[in-house]
Amino acid sequence: MFNFSGKRPQNLGVKDGQLASPPGTPNCVSSQSQDPRFRVDPLPLVTISEIKMAIAQMERGTVVAETEDYLYAEFKSKLMGFVDDVEFYRDATAGVVHVRSASRLGQSDLGVNRQRIEALRALVQP
């Protein structure tokens, strides 16, 4: 119906073992953030293939890029077409999969990014 997709961020990906920091607005969560407003626990150490299969079970998620230790997906809201950028970094050294989920537009996401990560966690729990 509507399309409020915005532009794909230029700061995506893993740099020196880190995903991008939250932008400072309450529409992002990250397992690497030290700020409790944005902090979410990392996922258990699973493969990128397992994460990809979990995304396939969710609505309106599209895998955009993947490597052996990184996956980037976009999730689009049903009504307004807002896009959230969701990244996964498999950190075998730390024994976890770090996550970052951020809305491209707006200030608030009404908790959608946190809910999405928790739903993914439920799908990949061993």
Residue 8: the pLDDT is 79
HEC sequence for 68-109? CCEEEEEEECCCCCCEEEEEEEEECCCCEEEEEEEECCCCCC
**Which CATH fold topology does 28-124 show?**
TATA-Binding Protein (3.30.310)
Provide block-wise average pLDDT over 10 residues at a time, the chain (126 residues).
Answer: 68 93 87 94 97 95 96 88 92 97 79 92 90
pTM greater than 0.75: yes
- Give residue limits of the domains in the chain: 28-124
Residue 106: the pLDDT is 65
Beta-sheet pairing, 28-30 with 83-91: unpaired
Cα–Cα distance between 39 and 124 in angstroms, integer?
19
Residue 5: the pLDDT is 66
Residue 23: the pLDDT is 83
